[in-house]
């Protein structure tokens, strides 16, 4: 029955993912969303890559943007679809089920002013992450920006060592509460230049653990 | 591969077996096996570390590619059911590795057990590759390749060989170890004997169930687990009677704790084997561990394509001249691969809305089943 209980618990995680993330980061997840939202203006074309249950996508639509929300999990997307069903937001959010690295194939020909990638790059393998950034660059309009919100490995040796230590402590609660193993992103800049992108601004919250990056085309 | 790397991989694999519920991921990407050319076959796998390593070994001798796709470090069967492994994850790996420039064909061989989560039409749309389901067991891959990539019906069947059973036993034992360790930390040295007894009970219950799986008297594993529990109770009673002086408190403790552990293990046996899946309530009320989902083909919707027969790991379906039949003497394990692969949604549930509902990868499942 122990495993049965564990499985039932894990099964229910997607529905409360955002609350758990907020808990794990002592509210940092909610604060980072506010910073992301400050970039959104009415009428903008927004793409949310790895939207999950769509908390940010809904906020962007409420702010007047026209949103495309993509994710690879139909289970997560059905939470989003149920959220917006029958509301005025339904016409402003297009829900697309596809992989992040294949977004340029599925949304071919479309352009976006803002592309959001919040807490998702850390879940990807390096090769898929590099391609996801290229796909995002292909969908970004000339004057558009990409907003990445994620955990980044610190470059400084001492902070990196502390980070290693904290990572191994939080490894288990992280897995138990969110089901995914969110690994902080290493060497993001190395992947940005081949995709024709550069970092134009950076904000850190939650003791520098969560970074919000503004990224533009070179 | 250097000796050092081999030892490192072996240690990580042991860690995977012992702590199965806390998976380790392998990196996604394309692995070359032997000297593959642009015409060589591409086998798809999830990224559970232990699986990838075992596959690399099993494929030695073939010239092929192994495309490792993200399954969140979980085995493909489980991952497919909970949306962690699907056509999007495969397409992402194809597009990220530039596979279409490396091989000249457009064919991917997928693990048969991923059929619960992968939509082949969506896969082709997203990456241009056609998926076909290969064998259920990776040990059959060489035979499959030698057979001109033709899948014999027995290669579709899921087995529960000794190697998988010991593996499940370790995984379950590790989970049952957690409360025992917690008790040890709380109770301290004073109750060491009792705690060691609990540990022994865990070990006997779990390992005897999995290791003697096909030699026990009952058909269903959960009932066999209770049978083992009864044998343990007899042993405890005999030991208490012959050991002088008889201590009632000690007997009650041993008997009760053995029963509790046995019951917990029995309930987990309902879902921890690839053969039968049912709800706890159904098992408790009927001692029947038969899957609540029983496929029923709606003949006016059925297109006769036989997709269900191609993916069923229990061999329930047969297709002859465009008519599909279900063999109810074989037992379904409610993986719902048939429902997922059936484009006209012709497969319903004999029991209507009653089924275990573990599979999350099929949209509007309740409407389809009714």
pLDDT category at B70 given cuts 50, 70, 90 is: very high
Question: Mutate which of B23, B66, B96 to test chain A, going by most A C-beta atoms within 10 A?
Answer: B96
* Closest CA of chain B from A56, distance in Å: 21
**Of residues A90, A94, A100, the one with CA closest to residue A146:** A100
**Of residues B100, B31, B17, B79, the one with CA closest to residue B59:** B31
| Mean pLDDT within B84-110 | 97
pLDDT category at B339 given cuts 50, 70, 90 is: very high
Q: How many CB atoms neighbour CB B3 within 10 A?
A: 7
CB of B174 within 8 Å of a chain A CB? The answer is no
pLDDT category at B195 given cuts 50, 70, 90 is: confident
Greater model confidence, A210 or B11: B11
CB of B366 within 8 Å of a chain A CB? The answer is no
pLDDT tens, position by position, A109-168:
999 999 999 988 988 999 999 999 999 999 999 999 999 998 888 777 887 788 778 777
Instruction: Encode A161-188: b = buried (16+ Cβ within 10 Å), e = exposed.
Output: eebeeebeeeeeebbebbbbbbbbbeeb
SS3 content of chain A, % helix, strand, coil (to 5): 50, 25, 25
pLDDT tens, position by position, B206-259:
899 888 888 888 888 888 889 999 999 999 999 888 887 888 888 898 899 889
User: Sign of the CA dihedral B302, B307, B312, B318?
Assistant: positive
pLDDT tens, position by position, A31-71:
888 889 999 999 999 999 999 889 899 999 999 999 999 99
Number of domain units in chain A? 1
Q: Strands A45-49, A93-97: parallel, antiparallel or unpaired by DSSP?
A: unpaired
Nearest CB to A102; choose among B22, B126, B360: B126
What is the residue-averaged pLDDT of chain B?
A: 90
Residue A177 pLDDT:
66
| Mean pLDDT within A175-188 | 72
- What CA–CA distance (Å, rounded) separates A141 from B286? 62
Q: What percent of chain A has pLDDT over 70?
A: 88
Question: Does residue A23 have a pLDDT over 90?
Answer: no
Residue B314 pLDDT:
93
* pTM listed for this prediction: 0.91
Q: What percent of chain B has pLDDT over 70?
A: 98
* Closest CA of chain A from B341, distance in Å: 16
ipTM of the complex: 0.90
Question: Does residue B67 have a pLDDT over 80?
Answer: yes
Residue A43 pLDDT:
93
pLDDT tens, position by position, B3-50:
898 899 888 888 888 877 777 889 999 999 999 999 999 999 999 999
Q: Are A140 and A217 in contact (CB under 8 A)?
A: yes
State the alpha helices, DSSP H only, in chain A: 2-11, 17-24, 28-37, 55-62, 74-84, 103-106, 126-139, 157-178, 188-192
pLDDT category at A186 given cuts 50, 70, 90 is: confident
H/E stretch holding B55: helix B49-58
| Mean pLDDT within B102-128 | 96
Out of A173-182, B85-94, B128-137, B266-275, pick the least confident. Answer: A173-182
Residue A91 pLDDT:
93
**Of residues B276, B307, B308, B274, the one with CA closest to residue B289:** B276
Q: Are B363 and A76 in contact (CB under 8 A)?
A: no
Residue of B nearest to A8 (CA): B358
Nearest CB to A99; choose among B22, B47, B88: B88
Could you tell me which residues are beta bridge partners of residue A147? A116, A214
What is the residue-averaged pLDDT of chain A?
A: 86
* Domain range enclosing A13: 2-217
pLDDT category at B292 given cuts 50, 70, 90 is: confident
Contacts with A180 from chain B: Cβ below 8 Å: 72
Q: How far out from the chain centre does Cα B11 lie?
A: 23
Chain B neighbours among A 96-115 (CB < 8 Å)?
Answer: 97-102, 105-106
CB of A6 within 8 Å of a chain B CB? The answer is yes
Residue A180 pLDDT:
61
Residue B215 pLDDT:
86
| Mean pLDDT within B292-316 | 93
CATH of the domain at A211: 3.40.50.150
pLDDT category at B140 given cuts 50, 70, 90 is: very high
Contacts with A99 from chain B: Cβ below 8 Å: 88-89, 91-92, 95, 126
Q: Which domains does chain B have, with CATH numbers?
A: 3-156 (3.40.50.11600), 162-273 (no CATH), 295-369 (3.30.70.20)
CB of B137 within 8 Å of a chain A CB? The answer is no
Is there a contact between A101 and B22 if contact means CB atoms under 8 Å apart?
A: no
Q: Are B277 and B283 in contact (CB under 8 A)?
A: no
**Of residues B115, B104, B13, the one with CA closest to residue B57:** B13
Nearest CB to B95; choose among A11, A73, A105: A105
pLDDT category at B343 given cuts 50, 70, 90 is: very high
pLDDT category at B274 given cuts 50, 70, 90 is: low
CB of A73 within 8 Å of a chain B CB? The answer is yes
Is there a contact between A6 and B21 if contact means CB atoms under 8 Å apart?
A: yes
The token pair at A58 is: 């809904």
CB of B106 within 8 Å of a chain A CB? The answer is no
Residue B39 pLDDT:
96
Residue of A nearest to B363 (CA): A74
pLDDT tens, position by position, A83-116:
999 999 999 999 999 999 999 999 999 999 999 9
Residue B13 pLDDT:
86
Q: How many CB atoms neighbour CB B173 within 10 A?
A: 19
Nearest CB to B126; choose among A4, A106, A125: A106
Residue of A nearest to B261 (CA): A1
Residue B276 pLDDT:
64
Nearest CB to A75; choose among B83, B91, B96: B83
Question: Hunting for tokens 């939207």 — which residue is that?
Answer: A51
| Mean pLDDT within B73-86 | 91
| Mean pLDDT within B180-201 | 86
Q: Could you tell me how many helices (H) and strands (E) chain B has, helices first?
A: 15, 9
CB of A160 within 8 Å of a chain B CB? The answer is no
CB of A72 within 8 Å of a chain B CB? The answer is yes
């Amino acid at each position: 029955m122990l495993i049965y209980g564990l499985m039932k618990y894990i099964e229910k995680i997607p529905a409360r993912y955002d609350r758990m993330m907020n808990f794990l980061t002592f509210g940092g997840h909610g604060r980072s969303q506010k910073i992301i939202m400050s970039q959104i203006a009415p009428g903008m074309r927004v793409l949310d890559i790895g939207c999950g249950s769509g908390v940010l996508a809904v906020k962007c639509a409420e702010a007047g943007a026209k949103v495309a929300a993509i994710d690879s999990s139909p289970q997560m997307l059905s939470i989003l679809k149920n959220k917006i069903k029958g509301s005025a937001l339904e016409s402003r959010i297009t829900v697309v089920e596809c992989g992040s690295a294949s977004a340029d194939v599925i949304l071919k020909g479309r352009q976006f002013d803002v592309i959001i990638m919040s807490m998702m790059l850390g879940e990807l393998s390096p090769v898929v992450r590099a391609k996801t950034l290229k796909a995002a660059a292909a969908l970004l309009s000339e004057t558009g920006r990409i907003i990445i919100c994620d955990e980044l490995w610190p470059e400084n040796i001492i902070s990196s060592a502390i980070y290693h230590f904290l990572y191994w402590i939080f490894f288990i609660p992280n897995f138990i509460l969110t089901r995914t193993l969110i690994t902080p992103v290493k060497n993001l800049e190395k992947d940005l230049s081949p995709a024709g992108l550069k970092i134009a601004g950076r904000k850190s919250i939650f003791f520098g653990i969560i970074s919000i990056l503004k990224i533009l085309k070179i | 591969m250097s000796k050092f790397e081999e030892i490192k991989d072996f240690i990580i694999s042991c860690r995977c077996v012992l702590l199965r519920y806390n998976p380790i991921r392998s990196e996604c990407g394309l692995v070359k096996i032997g000297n593959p050319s642009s015409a060589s076959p591409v086998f798809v796998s999830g990224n559970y570390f232990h699986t990838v390593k075992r596959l690399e070994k099993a494929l030695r001798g073939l010239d092929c590619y192994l495309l490792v796709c993200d399954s969140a470090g979980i085995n493909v069967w489980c991952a497919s059911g909970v949306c962690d492994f699907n056509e999007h994850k495969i397409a992402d790996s194809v597009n990220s590795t530039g596979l279409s420039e490396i091989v000249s064909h457009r064919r991917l061989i997928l693990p048969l057990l991923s059929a619960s989560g992968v939509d082949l039409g969506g896969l082709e749309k997203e990456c241009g590759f056609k998926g076909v389901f290969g064998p259920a067991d990776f040990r059959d891959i060489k035979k499959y390749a030698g057979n001109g990539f033709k899948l014999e019906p027995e290669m579709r069947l899921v087995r529960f060989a000794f190697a998988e059973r010991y593996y499940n036993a370790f995984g379950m034992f590790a989970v049952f170890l957690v409360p025992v360790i917690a008790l040890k930390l709380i109770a301290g040295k004073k109750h060491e004997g009792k705690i060691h007894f609990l540990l022994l009970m865990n070990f006997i219950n779990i390992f005897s169930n999995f290791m003697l799986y096909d030699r026990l008297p009952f058909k269903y594993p959960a009932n066999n687990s209770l049978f083992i529990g009864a044998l343990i109770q007899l042993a405890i009673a005999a030991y208490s009677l012959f050991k002088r002086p008889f201590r009632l408190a000690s007997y009650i403790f041993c008997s009760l704790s053995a029963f509790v552990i046995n019951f917990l293990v029995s309930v987990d046996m309902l879902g921890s084997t690839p053969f039968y899946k049912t709800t706890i309530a159904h098992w408790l009320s009927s001692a029947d561990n038969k899957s609540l989902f029983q496929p029923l083909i709606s003949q006016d919707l059925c297109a006769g394509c036989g997709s269900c027969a191609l993916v069923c790991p229990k061999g329930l379906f047969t297709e002859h001249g465009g008519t599909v039949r279900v063999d109810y003497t074989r037992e379904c394990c409610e993986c719902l691969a048939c429902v997922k692969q059936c484009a006209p949604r012709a497969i319903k549930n004999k029991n209507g809305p009653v089924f275990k509902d573990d599979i999350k990868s099929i949209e509007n499942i309740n409407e389809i089943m009714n």
